Amino acid sequence: MNVLILGGDGYLGWPTSMRFASKGHRVTAVDNYLRRTLAEETQSEALISTPNLLERSAIFKAATGLDINVEIIDCTDACALNRVVQHCKPDVIIHYAEQPSGPYSMRGFNEAKKTFDNNLQTTFNVVWAVIQHAPQCHIVKLGTMGEYGTPNIDIEEGWLEIEHKGRKDTFLFPRQAGTLYHTTKVLDTDLLWFYVRTYGLRVTDLMQGPVYGLLTTESEQDDRLLPNFHYDDIFGTVLNRFLVQAVAGIPLTVYGSGGQTRGYLNIVDTLQCLELAAGNPVEPGKLRVLNQFTEQFSVNQLAERVAEAGNSLGLNVTVQSLPNPRKELESHYYNAAHQGLEQMGLKPHLLDKPTLVAMLKVIIKHRLKIDKSKILPRVSWR
């Protein structure tokens, strides 16, 4: 396939670019380094310095003999994106090109506006580039389980059948996001659903839970091919942050009571899910929603597992509860369906002790680069 990956420099975008190239697809990776710029502006740089996208592509070529074409453009620029889509003629567009941080979107007006403008304009431009230049293209957009919030009912896989006054119909599952970032993802879904209905686009929306992990088959060939591993309070996901805290000797910071429950998955399973979604395109005029995670944990359960793994390495890990800077339920019902990808062939990698120990050992090699000032919460919803 011709595969166009928007946000190809990101934590997930770069490993996805390598994976699709390794499987024989013709890959074009697009980015404008927005995430790198915002991380630098907020003093939230990744643990391990990574080359830019052009350099990464060259390193990957030297290691594997495989090409990843690179386009450095801003996807909010409709003319630039149209040019790339027209030239690439993609069979599938994998859309990661959004400001990815909930805490960043809650810092203030400027950060909220930048998140809103970037995320919605990019999705709008993707839709119209496909309509104009690649109408048969399958759009695979990375959504988030955070769109659903924490309803007091089971979370279905995207859709919900409702009976009201003796009549039935099926609607997108009600969304109630907890940050502006997650709200932009809700709006993405509604925007895509409108254009699917109106223009017969084919779209898969992947509602992904928080991702953890460092190593993939491709990145193991050269440390310079590792993903952008963030551990700070703004761009770092909770498990990655806990792992770095364990190595740095900082108590694992549980916000509030720690009962917040979500669905998680290993980065290697993210790559599996993208392959499955792209390799099984939907019919024109269909929006397929898949809940993309493998296991559910509370924050307390994650802290317990990291502490156990860290202590097995002699790290003397402790856990500390902090006043919650976020506006969220700390104790709630959470039961989300996620059978779609497993029915398509997903083989989950579960969060066991050997997996955690392996990640801790990689972080230990880079422990001198840890900046402890980046870990405690610097953004408050209130």
pTM passes above 0.75: yes
pLDDT score at 316: 95
pLDDT score at 263: 98
Question: What residues form DSSP beta bridges with 4?
Answer: 28, 93
Q: Of 11, 104, 181, 212, which is the active-site residue? A: 181
Q: Where is 69: in which H helix or E strand?
A: strand 69-72
What percent of the chain shows pLDDT beyond 70? Answer: 100
Q: Where are the alpha helices (DSSP H) in the chain?
A: 13-22, 34-41, 53-64, 78-88, 102-105, 109-133, 180-199, 238-248, 267-279, 299-312, 340-344, 353-365
Tell me how long the chain is: 382
79-113 pLDDT per residue, tens: 999 999 999 999 999 999 999 999 999 999 999 99
For domain 2-374, give the CATH superfamily.
NAD(P)-binding Rossmann-like Domain (3.40.50.720)
Q: Which residues contact 46 (CB under 8 A, 6 or more apart)?
A: 39, 228, 229, 230
pLDDT score at 382: 81
30-56 pLDDT per residue, tens: 999 999 999 999 999 999 999 999 999
189 is catalytic: no
Q: Of 144, 184, 216, 355, which is the active-site residue? A: 144
185 is catalytic: yes
Residue 18 has pLDDT above 90, yes or no: yes
Residue 221 has pLDDT above 90, yes or no: no
CB 50 within 8 A of CB 35: no
| Chain centroid to CA 54 | 22
Residue 141 has pLDDT above 90, yes or no: yes
Q: Of 122, 179, 184, 185, which is the active-site residue? A: 185
User: Alpha-carbon torsion 144, 147, 153, 156, what sign?
Assistant: negative
Residue 199 has pLDDT above 90, yes or no: yes
- The arithmetic mean of pLDDT across residues 141-169, rounded, is 97
pLDDT score at 26: 98
198 is catalytic: no
65-76 pLDDT per residue, tens: 999 999 999 999
Mean pLDDT in the chain?
Answer: 97
Residue 340 has pLDDT above 90, yes or no: yes
Residue 198 has pLDDT above 90, yes or no: yes
pLDDT score at 185: 98
- The arithmetic mean of pLDDT across residues 282-300, rounded, is 98
Q: Which residue has the tokens 């952008």?
A: 228
d(CA 349, CA 264): 11
Residue 144 has pLDDT above 90, yes or no: yes
pLDDT score at 219: 93
pLDDT score at 242: 98
234-273 pLDDT per residue, tens: 999 999 999 999 999 999 999 999 999 999 999 999 999 9
- The arithmetic mean of pLDDT across residues 180-204, rounded, is 98
Question: What residues form DSSP beta bridges with 142?
Answer: 206
CB 84 within 8 A of CB 28: yes
What percent of the chain shows pLDDT beyond 90? Answer: 99
